[in-house]
Amino acid sequence: MNGKVLVVGSLNMDLVVNTAHLPQTGETILGGRFATIPGGKGANQAVAAARMGAPVSMIGCVGADGFGAELLRGAAQDGIDTRAITVETGAPTGIALITVDAEGRNTIVVASGANQLLSPLHLLAAKAAFSAAEVLVIQLEIPPETVGAALALAAEHGTRVVLNPAPARPLGAEILSQVDILIPNEVEALQMTGTATLEAAIETLLAQGVRNLILTLGEQGALLVSGGQRMHLPAYPVRAVDTVAAGDAFVGAFAAGLAGGLELEAAARLGNAAAALSVTRAGAQPSLPRRIEVDAFLQEQGDTPGLPR
């Protein structure tokens, strides 16, 4: 499998506390274990794709600090080409404050730091990565003008675009029409469309020019909407301990499958399997499965998306 994946996005150090329940407004609670864990939606998706066997490069920014150095080291250990990840002195590395409750649910607050310094100039400096890539993967933890510039460069080079609109904001038809596959979760789909039901969100996104939509639905699996057809892909049954980065596991594995030549449905099944395995483990990047684990899991489930090696 050698179709290249380019990820443009965030790198964060996750500061994670496990708690019995998620705190209410105004409530102080005593948590349990604390850990610093490599995360950031962009980096998580890059690692998820790399662990599926795709050649991955990433464009992003970290600060000139210990967290930045650790994130860069971890990405390189996963085989990611980190040459276009810039160490910026103007801001600290992004962090995310995360609480995870006993049911595996979470709250996440991001302080973007250096991620907000990722500019269109960084993309132009790494332009060759766009022509080399089969698939561009991008999220919304970086400045909007950088997202726009990445989409324009992808169009110039004929690179397919997978956009994970997280954190959600309304995007408009100009952006959405440049996206090949949009992958929001249910909350993001409602927030970005300002609608109250999933059905209304789907109709609004299609009317805004979305060509292929994959809604990730947590323990309900995923819904693929493409070419006037809808297909529900049920989740694989697992016991969830921590859902942080489950969406990133889906997006990264999906992108690896797509770059490797899979059709949308088969790539989405691969994403579903990676997400299922990720929720059985704690943390963002430590939870992301490797190809050999996903293959074995799919075989147990009697399912084979046929990802070429």
Tell me whether residue 248 or residue 295 sits nearer to ligand RIB (CB atom): 248
Q: Does 159 bind ligand RIB (CB under 6 A)?
A: no
Beta bridge partners of 59: 8
Which lies closer to ligand RIB via its Cβ, residue 188 or residue 248?
248
Asked if 28 and 102 count as a contact pair (C-beta separation under 8 A), the reply is no
Contact 8, 141 (CB under 8 A): no
CB 254 within 8 A of CB 302: no
- Give the whole-angstrom CA distance, residue 159 versus residue 179: 10
How many residues touch ligand RIB (CB under 6 A)? 16
Q: Which residues between 59 and 118 bind ligand RIB (CB under 6 A)?
A: 96, 108, 110
Q: How many Å apart are CA 287 and CA 280, to the nearest integer?
A: 8
Q: Is residue 295 involved in binding ligand RIB (CB under 6 A)?
A: no
State the minimum distance, in angstroms, from the CB of residue 39 to ligand RIB.
2
Minimum distance from CB of 45 to ligand RIB (Å)? 9
Least separation, in Å, of the C-beta of 9 and ligand RIB? Answer: 9
Q: Does 274 bind ligand RIB (CB under 6 A)?
A: no
Read off the amino acid at residue 128. Answer: A
List binders of ligand RIB among 221-260 (CB under 6 A): 244-245, 247-248
Residues 6+ apart with CB under 8 A from 296: none
Q: Does the active-site annotation cover 248?
A: yes
Q: How far is the CB of 295 from ligand RIB (least distance, A)?
A: 24
Helices (H), 166-207: 172-176, 186-193, 198-207
* Straight-line distance from the first to the last Cα atom of the chain, in angstroms, rounded to the nearest whole number: 5
Q: Which residues are catalytic?
A: 248
Q: Binding residues for ligand RIB, per CB under 6 A?
A: 10, 12, 14, 39-41, 44, 96, 108, 110, 141, 244-245, 247-248, 284
